[in-house]
Structure 1
Amino acid sequence: MANAVVLLGLCLYLSWVDYRHRRIPNRALSAGFLLISLMQLAFSSPLEWLNAGLFAILCLFVFGLISWHWPLAFGMGDVKLLALICYGLGVRDFVLVLTTASLSALFVSVVLLLIRKVSLTSSLPFAPFMTIGLGAFLYMCEIS
């Protein structure tokens, strides 16, 4: 849970930067990785840490291939942010956050297309939607 709160704070900052400048700074991602690594080492078992790390590498590889094939649709900053969230939350929680983020991005995209604010060739920053996914995840954790 503490990892999710740290990631939410980082994502709030990255969402603002991604929305304004359409880039995600590597320094912020590196600082987040260092902080999450220290928290993983302190609060989780070595097996949990290893599983999260291996899945984050797999996530980096898969989404990196997507970014390589469609660089205008999905940037490498988004790929690194997804890998960091995967590393901090673990597999199950990451899938929930990614699903919520993707559904919210789809909804916003359809609404913007319907009111003719964007065209089919336009792109949206994805970090704000990951923040929405993390916020929804934290809210659901508090309810249950």
Structure 2
Amino acid sequence: MANAVILFGLCLYLSWVDFRHRRIPNLALGVGFVLISIMKYVLSSQREWLMAGLFAILCLLVFGWISWHRPRALGMGDVKLLALVCYGLGVHDFVVVLTVASLAAMLVSLVLILIRKVSIKCEVPFAPFVTIGLAVILCMSDTS
């Protein structure tokens, strides 16, 4: 839960930057990584910390491969953000965040295309949608 709050605060800032400048700063991701690592060290067992790190590396490799082959579809800042979210939340919550973010991005893009505000080739910042996914995780953890 504490990791989700840290990630949500970080993603609010990253969403603003991504929306305005179409980039995600490495410094902010680095600070987030340090904060999440400290929380993981304090609150998790060594096995949980290791598994989170391995899944984050796997996430980095898979999405990095996608970004390498389709750089206009997914930027490297988004790849690093997704790996950080995977590291901070774990696989189960990461899948929920990724699903919600992808569905929200698809719906917004579809609406923008249908009202002819953008073309099909337009790039959409993804960090705001990751923030929406994190908000859903926070709401789900408060209700359960």
TM-score range, shorter chain: over 0.9
- Partner in structure 2 of residue 109 of structure 1: 109
Q: Which amino acid aligns with 1:130?
A: V
Unaligned residue ranges in structure 2 (runs of 5+): none
Q: What are the equivalent positions in structure 2 for 1:124-143 lying under 5 Å apart?
A: 124-143=124-143
Poorly superposed stretches of 4+, deviation over 6 Å: none
CA distance in 1, matches of 2:45, 2:107: 38
- The alpha-carbon deviation at position 43 of structure 1 amounts to 0.3
Q: What are the equivalent positions in structure 2 for 1:92-103 lying under 5 Å apart?
A: 92-103=92-103
Q: Which amino acid aligns with 1:36?
A: I
Structure 2 residue matching 1:142: 3-state secondary structure: helix
Structure 1 residue matching 2:97: 3-state secondary structure: helix
User: RMSD between aligned alpha carbons?
Assistant: 0.5
- Partner in structure 2 of residue 36 of structure 1: 36
- The alpha-carbon deviation at position 141 of structure 1 amounts to 1.0
- Partner in structure 2 of residue 78 of structure 1: 78
Q: What are the equivalent positions in structure 2 for 1:19-34 lying under 5 Å apart?
A: 19-34=19-34
Unaligned residue ranges in structure 1 (runs of 5+): none
Q: Which amino acid aligns with 1:135?
A: A
- Partner in structure 2 of residue 6 of structure 1: 6
Aligned length: 144
CA distance in 1, matches of 2:140, 2:117: 32
CA distance in 2, matches of 1:25, 1:47: 30
- Is 1:91 matched up with 2:91? yes
- Partner in structure 1 of residue 53 of structure 2: 53
Q: Which amino acid aligns with 2:56?
A: A
CA distance in 1, matches of 2:102, 2:137: 13
